Structure 1
């Protein structure tokens, strides 16, 4: 990750940690104070992406959803394979084989 991207991300984390609303102006202010120039468009995009989200909650639950989602996907995958196998017919079922 580039320095500019990291600086913008850290700025957003600092704002979230202090309970301050994450806005593009605040991201640019923090990165400028750190002597990193972030283009306002990238700060705006990051602020829009995080708008309405609880960043602290996201960080606390980083790995929480992975196990359940994987388990559901793992259960559904064999069912789909079984259906595909049932639909396929072998040559023997049709009355002729490879060596007939």
Structure 2
């Protein structure tokens, strides 16, 4: 998704406001862009202000990568004790023996997989 320059300008202005702990409002975004001598369509600042209403942008930035990384780590920590509990309940720490099954020879003669062109 490619952002236009107008969208990027609003994003940067919103980040400036969030960094200064100022409420993100359309008129404040427009004021920052006017101070930067950047001309923008009048609807962009209000659109961004409405989208960010009630959202703490600084918390959003701090938690960008934390949620997906935490879920697999939590699953790994809960799975390991469960495996240890099973071993303790069984009273055996001996490795399991693997049984070998004889492998069938691959041959194309006489095999019908049921995939016919006109079935």
Matches within 5 A, 1:1-100: 1-67=3-69, 68=71, 98=114
Q: How many angstroms apart in 2 are the aligned matches of 1:36 and 1:53?
A: 25
Relative to the length of structure 1, the TM-score reads 0.64
**More deviation, 31-40/54-63:** 31-40
Q: Does the 8 Å contact 1:24/1:40 carry over to 2?
A: no
The count of corresponding residues between Structure 1 and Structure 2 is 73
Q: Does the 8 Å contact 1:8/1:38 carry over to 2?
A: no
Moved over 4 A (4+): none
Q: Which has the higher helix share?
A: 1
Give the gaps of 5 or more residues in structure 1. 73-96
Structure 1 residue 65: Cα displacement: 1.5
Relative to the length of structure 2, the TM-score reads 0.55
Give the gaps of 5 or more residues in structure 2. 76-112, 115-119
Root-mean-square deviation (CA, aligned residues, Å) is 2.1
Larger Rg: 2
